[in-house]
Structure 1
Amino acid sequence: MIEIINLTKRYGNITAVTDISLTIPNGQLFGFLGPNGAGKTTTIKTLVGLLKPTLGTVKIEGFDVQKQPLEAKRVVGFIPDKPFIYEKLTGREFLQFIAGLYQVEQRDVEERITQLLDMFELSDWGDELVESYSHGMRQKLVMSAALIHQPQVIVVDEPMVGLDPKGARLVKKIFRELCDKGTTIFMSTHTLEIAEQMCDHIAIIQKGQIIAQGTIEGLHRLAQTTKTNLEDIFLELTGGYEMKEVIEFLKN
């Protein structure tokens, strides 16, 4: 479970996030959408403890991220949009390293690594150096690393970057299976089609504030539009139709 309570984050005179509150229950795949500069990355970094909030509280599985950082981080897996991997390690060695950071019981490490490499179709590459991996393979390795300690909550920023259609479908399947087993997933993405296909619940942030949240059907009613796909609903709610109309005009 994720609880974001009256979260505000300021950088000097700039307020990136203003008094947002969200409660995300166990087993939900939650989509977090917004235009560039809306406050998504700031929220995510605060959620995983990389930034300290100016005001407000973030709790992961009941642990206050600021007051109980180690306990909170033990139950969360983070998949950033621009991950760093040690290229001179093999995939297996990298997962062993991450397992050590999370203090995974040694007797469980090799079994989990084998399961994850198989799950993400990396078994044949487990003993190859990461520098030989394609971008999509690196993305799948990072996802494997985020799951090595079996977190109850996963926070993911742009999960499908660099994945081919087969890889993207595999990740969708894995995420859904995890949620069905009770894992909570907080996912930020610019790919609205992905959000529409995957998410149980969606929040839209603009200029640092939550302007809408709900199911696709609920957002459709809120937007008061005859359009039914998430892209049109998103543009209606964020005022993006003006730019869309300009682009269509230029095309003609």
Structure 2
Amino acid sequence: MQLQSTPLLEVEQLTGGYSRQRPVLHQLNFSVYAGEMVGLIGLNGAGKSTTIKHILGLMQPHTGEIRLKGRAIQADPTAYRRTYAYVPESPQLYEELTVREHIELAAMAYGMRREDYEARSSALLEEFQMSAYANRLSAHLSKGMKQKVMIMSAFLVRPELYIIDEPFLGLDPLGIRSLLELMVKVKESGAAILISSHILTTIERYGDRYLLLQKGKLTAAGDMDALRAQAGMPGASLDDVFCSLVTRGEPH
């Protein structure tokens, strides 16, 4: 795919983690452009979720910089955060709010117009088979339904960047299909997607580029042809390439 000249998300020389004495991430450099889906892949403990937390502004880098649309979070936290929407691995909802109230809260946080909220929320509730549960408290939802609320809230606001962490866990097959169709639609509209997932067959089918993390270091990056070339496995699947690259030895 043809990438624009200016990245939407820029990560430069990012070193970070919970302790300065033992950083989790080591000098990460990568960019994400409008209109592409980038898969963040790696074994458990590789640093994927820590990377996402730094991009979200939940953790501060030890060194390096993260910019969205050329802006670091310190310059304008509200504008920075309105650039993205986040779907976490574990749904985080307010137990005393209904499904509809959660979606409306997202609309308010992003300053959506009422008419846009009404039209989009109705369509999303129908798409994810949640219309009948719109007035149910989140405390009474299954994990899969809670995940659908997080997904609907993210896609309601139509940000420029979607940050999605292991979204398929707990979703039923129809929910997975609806999510994938939405991701294709927003990507075609020009939004960017950074997605972390262990479901490599799905990531390969829908992704444009991939970032392989090993022990907090970026050890491979690029499209399928680039990863296959690095692994010396022409024509191989992402699953096979991944297994080969992560078992060749520890990154230094």
What's the TM-score, normalizing by structure 2?
0.89
Matching residue of 1:41? 49
Matching residue of 1:177? 185
Inter-partner Cα distance in structure 2 for 1:58 and 1:162: 31
The answer to whether the 8 A contact 1:227-1:233 is kept is no
Matching residue of 1:7? 14
Matching residue of 1:23? 31
Matching residue of 2:74? 66
Q: Among 140, 150, 174, which residue is 2:158 paired with? A: 150
Q: Provide closer, same or farther for how the CA distance between residues 212 and 170 of structure 1 changes in structure 2, counting only shifts above 3 A.
A: same
The answer to whether 1:32 aligns with 2:40 is: yes
Q: Among 191, 194, 208, which residue is 1:186 paired with? A: 194
Inter-partner Cα distance in structure 2 for 1:75 and 1:203: 21
SS at match of 1:121: coil
Shift of 1:81: 0.6
Q: Provide closer, same or farther for how the CA distance between residues 166 and 207 of structure 1 changes in structure 2, counting only shifts above 3 A.
A: same
SS at match of 1:141: helix
Matching residue of 1:97? 105
Shift of 1:240: 6.7
**Structure 2, gaps ≥5 residues long:** 1-7
Q: Quick one: which amino acid aligns to residue 135 of structure 2?
A: D
Q: Among 39, 62, 65, which residue is 1:54 paired with? A: 62
Inter-partner Cα distance in structure 1 for 2:221 and 2:175: 29
The answer to whether the 8 A contact 1:47-1:65 is kept is no
Inter-partner Cα distance in structure 1 for 2:83 and 2:127: 21
Counting aligned pairs with the same residue, the percent is 31
Inter-partner Cα distance in structure 2 for 1:167 and 1:140: 7
**What's the CA shift string for 1:108-162, capped at 9, x where partnerless?**
3333322322333322221222233222221111011122322110101001010
Shift of 1:86: 1.5
The answer to whether the 8 A contact 1:33-1:204 is kept is yes
Shift of 1:227: 6.8
The answer to whether 1:87 aligns with 2:87 is: no
Shift of 1:4: 0.8
Matching residue of 1:203? 211
What's the TM-score, normalizing by structure 1?
0.89
The answer to whether 1:76 aligns with 2:84 is: yes
CA RMSD of aligned residues (A): 1.8
Inter-partner Cα distance in structure 1 for 2:199 and 2:245: 16
Q: Provide closer, same or farther for how the CA distance between residues 119 and 192 of structure 1 changes in structure 2, counting only shifts above 3 A.
A: same
Q: Quick one: which amino acid aligns to residue 206 of structure 2?
A: M
Q: Provide closer, same or farther for how the CA distance between residues 226 and 181 of structure 1 changes in structure 2, counting only shifts above 3 A.
A: closer
**What's the CA shift string for 1:157-212, capped at 9, x where partnerless?**
00101012221121111101110100100001122122112211101011111100
Shift of 1:97: 2.0
The answer to whether the 8 A contact 1:5-1:57 is kept is yes
